[in-house]
Amino acid sequence: MLATDGSAPIAGLAAEAGWSRRHLTSRFRTEIGLTPKTVARILRFERVTRTLKADGGHGLADLAYACGYADQAHLNRDFRAFAGTTPTDYVARLLPGGAGVSAGEQVANVQDALARAA
């Protein structure tokens, strides 16, 4: 999963481990506390944020596809879930020189989103 930034199919990972998808999901939840699908979403989201910091967010639809999203709508959904904002707003809040993201009104983080979901 890490090698593909969350783009590897879960069924393929299960087959590679010699387990069923259900067993892989159960083991993931026990060992990591999250399902493989959630971990994959987080890894894709992290790849997008790294790319946005590097290039400023030009071509969000192309970025979504390059990072393993089906379309830009799925990218936007994950941004709202994990950062509490849109990709465009996130880019507008990037601080110069890679110094992070300004807090603005409501930039959350992945841990906040997971805590709310629990």
List alpha helices for 3-71, DSSP H.
10-17, 21-32, 36-55, 60-66
- 60 found inside a domain: yes
92: containing domain: 10-117
Within-domain flag for 5: no
Domain count, the chain: 1
Could you give the angle at the alpha carbon of 102 between the alpha carbons of 42 and 39, nearest 5°?
5
pLDDT in tens, 69-116: 999 999 999 999 999 989 988 888 887 766 667 776 554 555 555 655
What does each C-alpha distance from 17 to 20, 27, 30, 76, 98 come to in angstroms?
Answer: 9, 11, 16, 32, 38
Q: CATH code at 107?
A: 1.10.10.60
Tell me, yes or no, whether 4 lies in a domain: no
Residue 76 inside a domain? The answer is yes
Residue 80 domain-assigned?
Answer: yes
The tens digit of pLDDT for each residue in 24-44 reads 999 999 999 999 999 999 999
